[in-house]
Structure 1
Amino acid sequence: MAAKSANLYVRIEPDVKEQAESILSVLGIPASNAINMFYKQIILHRGLPFEVKIPVTKHVNAEELSESELSAELEKGYADMVSGRTKSARQVFSDIRKDYEI
């Protein structure tokens, strides 16, 4: 293993740091090791080791819709339900946790 002699100074939102370090603590991984792993993954992938993009999902605010737009959104939801394109609340929240690593 190469000697660790380079320093990295970053500014990060305190709550992001706290949440991440809490998770790393449960995993038994010091933050410096996690950052080192991240950098190694950048090298292996020759870029970020995950996609960076704007989510396709469009959230709908019912309060901002006209009556006909709201009706159209409700019809889409009903069509999804009838065709079986639904998820349980448990699955939805599980997916959100995975997406945001909560």
Structure 2
Amino acid sequence: MPGNTNMSIRVDSELKHQAEQILSQFGMNMTGAVNMFLQQIVRERAVPLSLSLDSSRAVYADLLAAQTDRAQGYTGRESEEVLADMRDLIEKAGQNG
């Protein structure tokens, strides 16, 4: 059975502070976030980052798509429906893993 190990990394103090504030809004801490990141690397066998020199285009494209969806009457999904879909995906991932 694998045990826990300590990691030591250097991070800009302001960046760390800002990240901790955001993570706390999700009820998470830095350790949990780093563990999730590492688990995703192992699961996907890839680094889960989207690297781009101009990410503003992707954000702008997403905003335009959302605006078009709303104009066509899309009002979103109920949170319980989203959570049920997430539970199904987690269950399926567990069966395949």
The alignment's TM-score, normalised by the length of structure 1, stands at 0.49
Compare the two structures and name the one with the higher helix fraction.
2
Query: Aligned residue for 1:27?
Result: 26
Aligned residue in 1 for 2:87: none
Unpaired runs of 5+ residues, structure 1, are 59-86, 92-102
Q: Percent identity between the aligned chains?
A: 32
Partner Cα distance (1:7, 1:36) in 2: 12
Q: Take 1:57 and 1:35, find their aligned partners in 2: how far apart are those partners? A: 26
**RMSD across aligned positions (CA):** 2.7
Residues 1:51 and 2:53 aligned together = no
**Structure 1 residue 50, shift from structure 2 partner:** 2.1
TM-score scaled by length of structure 2: 0.51
Deviations for 1:40-77, whole angstroms, at most 9, x for unmatched residues?
1111221211222322769xxxxxxxxxxxxxxxxxxx
Secondary structure of 1:54's aligned partner: coil
Q: Which has the higher contact order (CA 8 A, sep 6+)?
A: 2
Give the distance between the partners of 2:21 and 2:56, measured in 1 at CA.
Answer: 29
Q: How many residues are treated as equivalent by the alignment?
A: 60
SS, match of residue 43 in structure 2: helix
Give structure 1 regions of 4+ aligned residues with deviation exceeding 2 angstroms.
none
